[in-house]
Amino acid sequence: MKPHLFRRKFLIYPEVQNSVIRIFILAGGAGFLGLVIGAIIFGQKIFRLVESTGAAASPENQMTISQIWFNFTFFLVTFGILYVVGLAALGLFFSHRLVGPILRISSDLCVMIENNRFNLLKIRDTDFLEKIVSQLNNSIQIRGTDDTDANAKDV
């Protein structure tokens, strides 16, 4: 047996964790790609304008360069805000798919403990924690059969 320097503990299954990480990496890559494409487009406009004017630029061309630079900074700020809003929306979407089932499971388990009744847990089909819920349902079914066997023996 190989010694482990540290043990990994998962709140969710590794494949779910990896899929969430992949989506955020793809979103980050898409944002970076959009930023680079925008920089190239605006940079080419600035370089063409500077190249066409030569070293001594007239005041009209300087104004045009400053307008392009203002447009570029406006693009960067707008794109940055949209990117942050998009990542926040992704975070809300995935936290909804992760936290929702956890809250549902915990509330159902609390009701089961208070009422001493063992009902099967239910979550949406699109939620991430289906394997955990199926394992909990299996243990609930086993617990339910143990209780009925114990009640039958007592009678």
Tens-digit pLDDT profile for residues 7-38:
555 555 666 667 777 887 888 888 888 888 87
Structure tokens at 49: 């304008």
pTM, to two decimals: 0.45
Residue 70, in any domain of the structure: yes
Residue 6, in any domain of the structure: no
AA identity, residue 33: L
Residue 145, in any domain of the structure: yes
Residue 8, in any domain of the structure: no
Structure tokens at 60: 């009209």
Burial of 50: CB neighbours in 10 Å, binned 0-12, 13-18, 19+: middle
Report d(CA 90, CA 72) in Å as an integer.
26
pLDDT of residue 137: 83
pLDDT band for 152, please (50, 70, 90 cuts): very low
Q: Name the percent of the chain lying above pLDDT 70.
A: 68
Mean pLDDT of the region 114-130 = 74
pLDDT band for 42, please (50, 70, 90 cuts): confident
The whole domain housing 53 covers 14-154
Structural element, H or E, at residue 25:
helix 14-53
Mean pLDDT of the region 40-55 = 71
Is the confidence at residue 155, as pLDDT, over 50? no
Residue 9, in any domain of the structure: no
Residue 60, in any domain of the structure: yes
Please count the structural domains in the chain: 1
pLDDT of residue 53: 64
Residue 13 DSSP label: -
